[in-house]
Amino acid sequence: ENKMTEPQNLNPAKRYRRQDWPGELYENGSFYFAKRHLIEKGYLQGGKMAYYEMRAEHSVDIDIDIDWPIAEQRVLSFGYFGKEQLKEVKLLVCSIDGCLTNGRIYVTEDRKEMVSYDYRDIVGIDLLKKRGIQVRFISDRDCSKTLSAMQLACVAKVNATNKLQVLKDWQEDMDLSWKEVAYLGNEESDVECLKQAGMSGVPADACAAAQKAAGYICKSAGGCGAVREFAEHIFLLLEKVNSARKQ
């Protein structure tokens, strides 16, 4: 826009170190563009100046060892999509027990099983479908009655002894690249699927092996809004894709 930034409480020639700056906005030193005569005078800024404000999740300074876990948590919270070309997610595969439900099975006296789910997750599934993303479910056990009762109208594979093979079959049938596949799991049986999918996530209470394999760890536990939260993470990627296309 050919506009200059006018500092109100900062002398660019004698500015604070970032670590000593008491203000809310500070320089992260990601990049500087300056003319040669300024650099020869020992300045990184001067003359006509403009600043670019970076989002917090894109601005991480690693100065000491405790900065590493902060950086890792930001990657887990906001994702890291690398330098490869971004692609829209077209398919989300979700493990039923422990993701869509909390993993608990209630048994009545007449031996009927009952499970609970969070309505927020159902809303998240509907939002994904409205954005043109297919949602499919997978389970180690036969929970077809549970899915039927929830009336989700989604493709599901139960009694899946090899989840990765099921995932590959779906990916090939839909003619998708792995970058277009997202997977939400929580158990050791989901680990290979989490590693294969272009976008992967787990609920907050997933097992350690699944958490290690996932690219995103939800703040919500399974059956308590994790599906909706992961859907929001997918929408964040879609925004990045659309933004990249516009540029």
Could you give the domains of the chain? 91-245 (3.40.50.1000)
Beta bridge partners of 200: 183
Say if residue 245's pLDDT is above 70: no
**Among 223, 222, 200, CA closest to 211:** 200
Calculate the alpha carbon distances from 194 to 93, 212, 217 in Å.
10, 10, 12
Predicted confidence band at 209 (pLDDT cuts at 50, 70, 90)? Answer: very high
Q: What's the chain's average pLDDT?
A: 84
DSSP H helices, the chain, are: 36-40, 67-78, 119-130, 144-150, 163-173, 191-196, 208-213, 226-246
- Verify whether residue 17 is a known catalytic residue: no
Catalytic residue among 15, 74, 120, 136: 15
CA distance 164 to 158: 13
Predicted confidence band at 127 (pLDDT cuts at 50, 70, 90)? Answer: very high
pLDDT tens column, 159-182: 999 999 999 999 999 999 999 999
**Among 28, 33, 22, 21, CA closest to 62:** 28
Calculate the alpha carbon distances from 156 to 3, 139, 144 in Å.
55, 8, 8
Calculate the alpha carbon distances from 12 to 2, 24, 39, 123 in Å.
19, 17, 13, 50
CA dihedral 171, 176, 178, 183 (to 10 degrees): -50
Q: For residue 207, count other CB atoms closer than 10 A to its CB.
A: 17
Write the DSSP symbol of residue 89: -
